[in-house]
Amino acid sequence: MRREVTLEEISDGKLYDANDMVKADCQDCKGCCDCCKGMGDSVLLDPYDVCRLSRGLQRTPEDLIGNVLELGISDGNIPHLAMKGAEERCVFLNGEGRCVVHEIRPGFCRLFPLGRYYSEDGFKYILQIHECTKKNRSKIKVKKWLDTPNLKQYEKFIWEWHQFLLDVQEVFYQTEDADLIKNLNMYVLSRFYYKEYDEKKDFYEQFYERLEEAKKLLSLGV
Protein backbone atom coordinates (compact mmCIF):
# COMPACT_ATOMS: atom_id res chain seq x y z
CA MET A 1 0.00 0.00 0.00
CA ARG A 2 1.32 3.44 -0.88
CA ARG A 3 1.73 5.97 1.88
CA GLU A 4 1.81 9.56 0.67
CA VAL A 5 3.78 11.09 3.55
CA THR A 6 6.92 13.16 3.92
CA LEU A 7 10.11 11.83 5.45
CA GLU A 8 9.85 14.29 8.33
CA GLU A 9 6.35 13.13 9.25
CA ILE A 10 7.32 9.55 9.97
CA SER A 11 11.03 9.52 10.79
CA ASP A 12 13.98 11.35 12.31
CA GLY A 13 14.53 12.88 8.88
CA LYS A 14 17.59 10.78 8.05
CA LEU A 15 18.15 8.12 5.41
CA TYR A 16 20.28 5.12 6.30
CA ASP A 17 22.19 2.47 4.37
CA ALA A 18 22.84 -1.09 5.54
CA ASN A 19 26.26 -0.17 6.96
CA ASP A 20 25.05 2.86 8.93
CA MET A 21 24.55 2.94 12.69
CA VAL A 22 21.03 3.68 13.86
CA LYS A 23 19.35 3.89 17.27
CA ALA A 24 17.08 0.89 16.81
CA ASP A 25 18.31 -1.81 19.20
CA CYS A 26 15.65 -2.48 21.85
CA GLN A 27 17.12 -5.68 23.29
CA ASP A 28 17.52 -3.96 26.65
CA CYS A 29 13.73 -3.51 26.83
CA LYS A 30 13.32 -6.86 28.63
CA GLY A 31 9.91 -8.46 28.37
CA CYS A 32 8.50 -5.83 26.01
CA CYS A 33 6.34 -7.07 23.16
CA ASP A 34 4.36 -3.90 22.40
CA CYS A 35 5.27 -4.08 18.71
CA CYS A 36 3.77 -7.58 18.51
CA LYS A 37 0.29 -6.51 19.56
CA GLY A 38 -2.45 -4.39 18.03
CA MET A 39 -0.85 -4.25 14.59
CA GLY A 40 -4.05 -5.10 12.74
CA ASP A 41 -3.32 -6.21 9.18
CA SER A 42 -0.19 -4.08 8.82
CA VAL A 43 2.42 -6.85 9.10
CA LEU A 44 2.38 -7.74 5.41
CA LEU A 45 4.40 -10.71 4.22
CA ASP A 46 6.34 -11.07 1.00
CA PRO A 47 6.91 -14.43 -0.74
CA TYR A 48 10.24 -14.96 1.04
CA ASP A 49 8.57 -14.48 4.43
CA VAL A 50 5.97 -17.15 3.71
CA CYS A 51 8.57 -19.48 2.22
CA ARG A 52 10.81 -19.09 5.29
CA LEU A 53 7.91 -19.72 7.69
CA SER A 54 6.72 -22.69 5.65
CA ARG A 55 10.14 -24.33 5.66
CA GLY A 56 10.90 -23.50 9.28
CA LEU A 57 7.57 -24.70 10.64
CA GLN A 58 7.33 -27.59 8.17
CA ARG A 59 3.84 -26.53 7.18
CA THR A 60 2.57 -25.82 3.69
CA PRO A 61 1.74 -22.23 2.71
CA GLU A 62 -1.86 -23.35 2.27
CA ASP A 63 -1.89 -24.58 5.86
CA LEU A 64 -0.37 -21.34 7.16
CA ILE A 65 -2.68 -18.99 5.23
CA GLY A 66 -6.05 -18.97 6.93
CA ASN A 67 -4.61 -20.07 10.27
CA VAL A 68 -1.59 -18.11 11.49
CA LEU A 69 -1.63 -15.91 8.41
CA GLU A 70 -4.62 -14.00 7.05
CA LEU A 71 -5.40 -12.31 3.75
CA GLY A 72 -5.75 -8.54 3.61
CA ILE A 73 -8.44 -7.62 1.12
CA SER A 74 -7.45 -3.95 1.14
CA ASP A 75 -3.94 -4.93 0.02
CA GLY A 76 -4.90 -7.23 -2.83
CA ASN A 77 -5.01 -10.42 -0.79
CA ILE A 78 -1.41 -10.06 0.40
CA PRO A 79 -0.95 -12.31 3.47
CA HIS A 80 -0.32 -10.71 6.86
CA LEU A 81 0.33 -12.00 10.35
CA ALA A 82 -2.83 -12.82 12.29
CA MET A 83 -3.51 -10.92 15.52
CA LYS A 84 -5.70 -12.77 18.02
CA GLY A 85 -7.56 -12.18 21.28
CA ALA A 86 -8.56 -9.08 23.21
CA GLU A 87 -5.02 -7.70 23.02
CA GLU A 88 -4.72 -8.56 19.32
CA ARG A 89 -1.52 -10.45 19.99
CA CYS A 90 0.56 -11.90 17.18
CA VAL A 91 -0.18 -15.61 16.87
CA PHE A 92 3.52 -16.35 17.29
CA LEU A 93 3.78 -14.81 20.78
CA ASN A 94 4.01 -17.31 23.63
CA GLY A 95 2.59 -16.86 27.13
CA GLU A 96 5.66 -14.91 28.23
CA GLY A 97 5.35 -12.51 25.32
CA ARG A 98 8.31 -13.94 23.43
CA CYS A 99 8.41 -14.74 19.71
CA VAL A 100 8.44 -18.48 19.01
CA VAL A 101 9.56 -18.01 15.40
CA HIS A 102 12.29 -15.47 16.04
CA GLU A 103 14.87 -17.22 13.84
CA ILE A 104 12.46 -17.26 10.88
CA ARG A 105 10.48 -14.11 11.69
CA PRO A 106 9.18 -12.03 8.74
CA GLY A 107 11.10 -9.13 7.24
CA PHE A 108 8.67 -6.59 8.71
CA CYS A 109 9.53 -7.82 12.21
CA ARG A 110 13.28 -7.81 11.49
CA LEU A 111 13.00 -4.24 10.26
CA PHE A 112 10.98 -2.65 13.08
CA PRO A 113 11.33 0.12 14.28
CA LEU A 114 13.05 0.85 11.00
CA GLY A 115 11.11 1.28 7.79
CA ARG A 116 11.89 1.60 4.10
CA TYR A 117 11.65 4.86 2.19
CA TYR A 118 11.28 4.22 -1.54
CA SER A 119 12.36 6.52 -4.34
CA GLU A 120 12.34 6.04 -8.09
CA ASP A 121 15.61 4.11 -8.14
CA GLY A 122 15.70 2.21 -4.86
CA PHE A 123 15.11 2.52 -1.15
CA LYS A 124 16.84 3.64 2.01
CA TYR A 125 16.15 2.75 5.61
CA ILE A 126 14.49 5.18 8.01
CA LEU A 127 14.01 5.25 11.77
CA GLN A 128 10.29 5.59 12.47
CA ILE A 129 9.56 7.95 15.35
CA HIS A 130 5.90 7.23 16.13
CA GLU A 131 5.91 3.43 16.10
CA CYS A 132 7.81 2.66 19.32
CA THR A 133 7.66 4.62 22.59
CA LYS A 134 10.81 3.09 24.09
CA LYS A 135 13.53 5.68 24.73
CA ASN A 136 16.44 3.47 25.82
CA ARG A 137 17.33 2.01 22.44
CA SER A 138 21.02 1.76 21.63
CA LYS A 139 22.83 2.12 18.32
CA ILE A 140 23.34 -0.85 16.05
CA LYS A 141 24.45 -1.30 12.45
CA VAL A 142 21.41 -1.60 10.17
CA LYS A 143 22.52 -4.86 8.55
CA LYS A 144 23.17 -6.45 11.96
CA TRP A 145 19.71 -5.42 13.12
CA LEU A 146 18.10 -6.90 10.01
CA ASP A 147 19.88 -10.22 10.65
CA THR A 148 19.17 -11.45 7.12
CA PRO A 149 21.44 -13.77 5.11
CA ASN A 150 22.71 -12.51 1.73
CA LEU A 151 21.47 -8.99 2.48
CA LYS A 152 22.36 -7.51 -0.92
CA GLN A 153 20.42 -10.24 -2.68
CA TYR A 154 17.54 -9.81 -0.25
CA GLU A 155 17.44 -6.04 -0.80
CA LYS A 156 17.33 -6.57 -4.56
CA PHE A 157 14.42 -8.98 -4.08
CA ILE A 158 12.57 -6.46 -1.88
CA TRP A 159 12.98 -3.77 -4.54
CA GLU A 160 11.85 -6.04 -7.39
CA TRP A 161 8.82 -7.24 -5.43
CA HIS A 162 7.89 -3.66 -4.52
CA GLN A 163 8.09 -2.61 -8.17
CA PHE A 164 6.02 -5.57 -9.30
CA LEU A 165 3.25 -4.78 -6.81
CA LEU A 166 3.23 -1.17 -8.01
CA ASP A 167 2.82 -2.43 -11.58
CA VAL A 168 -0.07 -4.63 -10.47
CA GLN A 169 -1.66 -1.67 -8.70
CA GLU A 170 -1.35 0.36 -11.88
CA VAL A 171 -3.38 -2.27 -13.73
CA PHE A 172 -6.06 -1.94 -11.04
CA TYR A 173 -6.12 1.84 -11.40
CA GLN A 174 -6.69 1.54 -15.13
CA THR A 175 -9.59 -0.91 -15.08
CA GLU A 176 -13.06 -1.20 -13.62
CA ASP A 177 -13.30 -4.88 -14.50
CA ALA A 178 -13.99 -6.60 -11.17
CA ASP A 179 -13.28 -10.04 -12.59
CA LEU A 180 -9.90 -8.95 -13.91
CA ILE A 181 -8.95 -7.53 -10.52
CA LYS A 182 -10.10 -10.68 -8.74
CA ASN A 183 -8.28 -12.99 -11.15
CA LEU A 184 -5.08 -10.95 -10.98
CA ASN A 185 -5.15 -10.98 -7.18
CA MET A 186 -5.67 -14.74 -7.19
CA TYR A 187 -2.87 -15.25 -9.70
CA VAL A 188 -0.36 -13.33 -7.56
CA LEU A 189 -1.47 -15.18 -4.44
CA SER A 190 -1.37 -18.58 -6.10
CA ARG A 191 1.86 -18.13 -8.03
CA PHE A 192 3.98 -16.37 -5.43
CA TYR A 193 2.56 -17.60 -2.13
CA TYR A 194 0.59 -20.85 -2.34
CA LYS A 195 2.91 -22.58 -4.81
CA GLU A 196 5.75 -23.97 -2.71
CA TYR A 197 9.38 -23.19 -3.43
CA ASP A 198 11.61 -26.24 -3.85
CA GLU A 199 13.74 -26.40 -0.71
CA LYS A 200 16.58 -28.01 -2.67
CA LYS A 201 16.85 -25.00 -4.95
CA ASP A 202 17.70 -21.36 -4.35
CA PHE A 203 14.63 -19.34 -3.36
CA TYR A 204 15.64 -16.25 -5.32
CA GLU A 205 16.27 -18.17 -8.52
CA GLN A 206 12.79 -19.67 -8.32
CA PHE A 207 11.24 -16.31 -7.44
CA TYR A 208 12.75 -14.55 -10.45
CA GLU A 209 11.54 -17.30 -12.76
CA ARG A 210 8.01 -16.71 -11.50
CA LEU A 211 8.44 -12.94 -11.65
CA GLU A 212 9.53 -12.95 -15.29
CA GLU A 213 6.65 -15.25 -16.16
CA ALA A 214 4.19 -12.97 -14.38
CA LYS A 215 5.51 -9.85 -16.10
CA LYS A 216 5.17 -11.45 -19.50
CA LEU A 217 1.72 -12.81 -18.76
CA LEU A 218 0.46 -9.49 -17.46
CA SER A 219 2.23 -7.42 -20.14
CA LEU A 220 4.01 -5.47 -17.44
CA GLY A 221 7.35 -5.49 -19.19
CA VAL A 222 10.38 -7.66 -18.61
pLDDT the model gives residue 28: 62
Q: Residue 44: beta bridge partners?
A: 80
Residue 31: how many CB atoms within 10 A of its CB? 7
Helix 151-173 × helix 203-217 angle, to 10°: 20
pLDDT the model gives residue 178: 87
pLDDT the model gives residue 73: 66
Question: Mind listing the pLDDT tens digit of every residue in the chain (222 residues)?
Answer: 455 667 777 888 899 999 999 998 877 666 678 888 888 888 999 999 999 999 999 999 999 998 999 997 665 679 999 999 888 999 999 988 899 999 999 999 999 999 999 998 999 999 988 777 777 788 999 999 999 999 999 999 999 999 999 999 888 888 888 888 888 999 999 999 999 999 999 999 999 999 999 998 877 543
> Cis peptide leading into 79, omega within 30 of 0?
no
pLDDT the model gives residue 1: 47
